[in-house]
Chains A and B, each alone.
Chain A
């Protein structure tokens, strides 16, 4: 073999070794980066779990249940009739306002006639529609304070009469207190609104609502059966009356 040939062979061998080294390095990097990715995702999942667990613990610890609340302390009842209507509403929800306008009087009449017991569940699912002021929770908490003061229905109606636009700041706490004064609520009410006494409880009401499989407001339930208009729309006064009559037998 000539000298030149040997040099070429040696160079080729070196190249092969380098290629093998490079391939080994790529494998190593691939393995370790993959391990890192899996670890990061696992840790992220555990963080999510941890945040969730501590949040639900804190929420549960801060709950002050209004003494007048019924249905495991998640609703306010009006009337003593044999048929139960459950109404799940968010004070920020415009369709709830429409439902109140359309069927509110009918429900009130059925309460007066002792045909129904109506239970109002003040859920908060539209907290992100008030520029971060959480109007749904604040208004529902204020309604709970009003219920403690014996003026739930009056305050409930006042909130709908003064319903803010979706995606506005909502009513201020001062305005919520002013509306309370307008229906005859006093300092205890104002203190509960300012101190957000029942805001954590609203979370529990919303949780109960979801746990029952409901996802939208208003949800209207007569004797345990959800009532809707055609195509899952909100029931009219007529539809509701028929459902109550059917439930009364």
Chain B
């Protein structure tokens, strides 16, 4: 009886938990994109600092990425195709984490450029790879919640499905 009550309560709570995850993830991507979109050249240099691509490729990635992040943030904010949006967010986060891990493994001293212009660190500053990865894993968990439970309140999905 008690477990059934608990599970009923969880069923009622999931849409709210997912809503918080959705809006949180939306804020993450909007912030990341908006902080970079004002200076695309700097964003390209941040990608270049990972030394994974040629500079020309890095420049294009650096220019396109902030726009993708903003668009994905807006899609999550309005709640359109939440499961797919969350899957794309998770894919991006996995790529970001892989990039940071590879920079760490190669002993580069860079700023991840996640929420900033990035680049090499000035002398005397040490890279914060562990914290950066931990933070991205936290975001990945938000995306995971949405993948498992994509039904949320105040979403366009809900409106289109005719849910109240």
* A and B pair up: yes
Residue B6, interface by CB 8 Å: no
Q: Is B120's CB under 8 angstroms from A36's CB?
A: no
Chain B contacts for A232, CB-based, 8 A: 109, 123
Quick one: which of A193-249 are within 8 Å of B by CB? Answer: 203, 206-207, 210-211, 213, 215-216, 232-234
Residue B40, interface by CB 8 Å: yes
Interface size for A (C-beta < 8 A) is: 38
Residue B101, interface by CB 8 Å: no
Using CB atoms and an 8 Å cutoff, list the residues of chain B in contact with chain A.
Answer: 39-42, 44-45, 48-49, 51, 55-56, 58-60, 63-68, 70-72, 74-75, 80-81, 84-85, 88, 109-110, 117, 119-124, 156-157, 160-162
Q: Is A95's CB under 8 angstroms from B44's CB?
A: no
Chain B contacts for A26, CB-based, 8 A: 161
Chain A contacts for B157, CB-based, 8 A: 29, 33
Question: With contacts A47-B67, A210-B58, A233-B123 known, what are 12 further pairs, Cβ within 8 A?
Answer: A29-B157, A37-B75, A41-B75, A44-B68, A48-B65, A52-B63, A127-B42, A207-B41, A210-B48, A211-B55, A213-B55, A232-B109
Q: Is B122's CB under 8 angstroms from A215's CB?
A: no
A213 to B119, CA, bound (A): 11
Q: Is A51's CB under 8 angstroms from B63's CB?
A: yes
Q: Which of A34, A44, A207, A210 contacts B70 (CB under 8 A)? A: A44
The residue of chain A having its C-beta at the shortest distance from the C-beta of B47 within the complex is: A210
